[in-house]
Structure 1
Amino acid sequence: MTENTYRRGGIGIGELSRRTGVSARTLRFYCDGGILESWRSSGGHRQFDPVSAPDRVRSIRRLRALGLGLSVITEILAGTVSVTDAIAAERVSLDVELGALTWRRAALLALENAEEDERNARLALLTVVQDRHGAYDSLVTLWRRLLAPMPPAMFDGFVEMNIPAPPADPTVRQILAYAEVATAVTDPAFAHAISRQLWRTDGTVRDRRELIEGVAEACEVVGPLVLARVEPRPGPELDRFLAAHTAAKGERDTPRFRRRLLEAADDSDPRIQRYWAMTSVITGTTTAGAAQHWLYRALARSAETATSHG
């Protein structure tokens, strides 16, 4: 805006308002924000270009209807940002807002539907996932520490299958399950139990990477059996699991070795079982934990068979 300058052929703010349907108050706001150019008549009244000003106001109005801010609109009209890029950025921002609102709505429903005597417990549980992305990062951090020897590509696959991202539109059951899972990883005892289940040793593992790769392969083979509800039993799947442990620990597969594997970890730890059950509620898929439990039960049966024949 140029002060105390006179140009011929300008239109006043009332006329611009009439042509565009935008109130004089809003037009003044545009001028003060530097997005709409005007000058002063000799009498001190705002004047606008009769050709360019109405077109610019209409453009501003249309972009504002999309929810774009004046700073972004200024860049669009100046040609420094494309309309496509500005709209894409606004959509991403809106998606973030909608995600937060959807998550909050599920949390409120979980509290609203709770019985009176369990509401406080649910409230404390849901506090853990108030920052849902922070909760997810905590899950990844724990498993990255536990599975440190795992190759990056394999770990990424584990994350995709077994560490659920916060659901975009969670049910009450899912958000409560996510809160339980996120709470579990804050307990050092849980991490210790998972570690014992994974390594199954009271001695030295010579090659942790070899062990973890072998166990992962065994779990992958077992996955379809878990899905098909096949009862655990000794067989090639268990043999693969045992081969991973014998190779990594430099031992032979003997009945004594199998009993040691059973005794080295408490696979029936309720914290572990609950964790994987809640993870399955969120993902709707078979988890590595379910495969591990299948192998544990198969190992237990093989040890029972060896004892009965011994």
Structure 2
Amino acid sequence: MSPDGTASNGTLSIGELATQARTTVKTVRFYSDQGLLPETSRSGGGHRRYGPEAPARLRTIRALRSLGVPVPEIGRVLDRGDTLEAVVARRLDDLGTELAALRWREAALRALQDGAPEQLAERLELIGAVSVPPSTSALAHYWRRLLPVRLSARLRATVTDAAVPQPSADPTPDQVFAFARIHALATAATDHCLVSHRPAPVTHPDLLYGGLHEAYRLVDAALRTDRAPGPGEALDCYVAAHARASGSRDSPAFRRSLTVRLTAEDHPVMSRYWQLAGELTPGLTLGGADSWLREALTASTAAG
């Protein structure tokens, strides 16, 4: 036996390896059984022997495990099938997801705690229906059902992205509850075919939604200068989009008829959706922009 604890052939017993790595025989055996610590040979009595590189390899394994890196990924790093940098990057992504889930669960528990005792069962059912971390797929599906079938894929994606509120990475209890309620609303409307508030069919949906998207962008610019709803470029763009889509032209008569039609198309489900979306969105929602434009249209027709 040499002074450093290795056998004369340069190998280490399982006990010697555990001592050098400052761990237990049980740990060495576990990683060996997982294929992370290959044996160099077996002694005459059938005991495992490890090469001189085993202590450094075992320290690497234990360091990566302390950071939560899964055993299969450690194996790929050790066998040079994957780089350490790639594994670290993936682990950071995974950790971000885990932390988001923990923050959501904490806020969800506080939302349950903050409610009155008689509301607990209802809140639990609402919040429990949302995945952790929360997914917006039910909301996106709702909008895909709601938008015109003939709308181009580009505008469908643009409208859906703008209409679906993203859950906060660090939500408050109120935001958790608001997201649970908007998730339940969208799921119920889709599952039970309650999309009776689908907009009336138009001949040219791309002309309508393309123009509305531009009008909403102009509303956002107007709000940045604290402009109140009224005549201007945003309203003209909004009315022009509706006029083009219906094969009409902008005129005082068209604006009056448009005001009546939009009022008749109001639906409580959509109003509730935008109310909840506003609680989840720090900036302007599409519903908020549309409300601003309707107020401007009403003011315009009243003044005319």
CA shift at 1:235, angstroms?
4.0
Of the candidates 196, 211, 214, which is equivalent to residue 214 of structure 1? Answer: 211
Q: Are 2:104 and 2:171, in contact at CA under 8 Å, matched by a contact in 1?
A: yes
Q: Are 2:100 and 2:133, in contact at CA under 8 Å, matched by a contact in 1?
A: no
- Which secondary structure does the structure 1 equivalent of 2:187 belong to? coil
User: Paired residue for 1:25?
Assistant: 26
User: Paired residue for 1:3?
Assistant: none
Q: How many residues align?
A: 292
RMSD: 2.8
Aligned partners of 1:18, 1:113: CA distance in 2, in Å? 53
User: Paired residue for 1:272?
Assistant: 270
CA shift at 1:190, angstroms?
6.7
- Which secondary structure does the structure 2 equivalent of 1:47 belong to? strand
Q: Are 2:104 and 2:132, in contact at CA under 8 Å, matched by a contact in 1?
A: no
Deviates more, 1:205-214 or 1:6-15: 6-15
Identity among equivalent pairs (%): 34
Q: Are 1:138 and 1:182, in contact at CA under 8 Å, matched by a contact in 2?
A: yes
Task: Sort the Cα spacing of 1:242 and 1:31 in 2 relative to 1 into closer, same or farther, 3 A.
Answer: closer
Aligned partners of 2:184, 2:71: CA distance in 1, in Å? 43
Q: Are 2:105 and 2:132, in contact at CA under 8 Å, matched by a contact in 1?
A: no
CA shift at 1:75, angstroms?
2.0
Of the candidates 45, 48, 60, which is equivalent to residue 46 of structure 1? Answer: 48
Which structure 2 residues correspond to residues 144-155 of structure 1 after superposition, within 5 A? 144-148=144-148, 149-155=150-156
CA shift at 1:228, angstroms?
5.1
Letter in 2 for 1:208: P
Q: Are 1:190 and 1:272, in contact at CA under 8 Å, matched by a contact in 2?
A: no
Aligned partners of 2:64, 2:258: CA distance in 1, in Å? 66
Aligned partners of 2:57, 2:24: CA distance in 1, in Å? 15
What is the TM-score normalised by the length of structure 1? 0.81
Aligned partners of 2:202, 2:72: CA distance in 1, in Å? 60
User: Paired residue for 2:119?
Assistant: 118
Task: Sort the Cα spacing of 1:184 and 1:230 in 2 relative to 1 into closer, same or farther, 3 A.
Answer: farther
CA shift at 1:151, angstroms?
4.4
Q: Are 2:108 and 2:127, in contact at CA under 8 Å, matched by a contact in 1?
A: yes
Per-residue CA deviations over 1:273-299 (Å, capped at 9, x if unaligned) read 332232122121011111111222222
Task: Sort the Cα spacing of 1:16 and 1:165 in 2 relative to 1 into closer, same or farther, 3 A.
Answer: same
Task: Sort the Cα spacing of 1:46 and 1:111 in 2 relative to 1 into closer, same or farther, 3 A.
Answer: same
Deviates more, 1:147-156 or 1:90-99: 147-156
Letter in 2 for 1:103: W
Task: Sort the Cα spacing of 1:236 and 1:36 in 2 relative to 1 into closer, same or farther, 3 A.
Answer: closer
CA shift at 1:113, angstroms?
1.1
CA shift at 1:255, angstroms?
4.8
Task: Sort the Cα spacing of 1:57 and 1:265 in 2 relative to 1 into closer, same or farther, 3 A.
Answer: same
Which structure 2 residues correspond to residues 78-89 of structure 1 after superposition, within 5 A? 78-89=79-90
Per-residue CA deviations over 1:230-286 (Å, capped at 9, x if unaligned) read 332344432322222222212344554334323324466444333223212212101
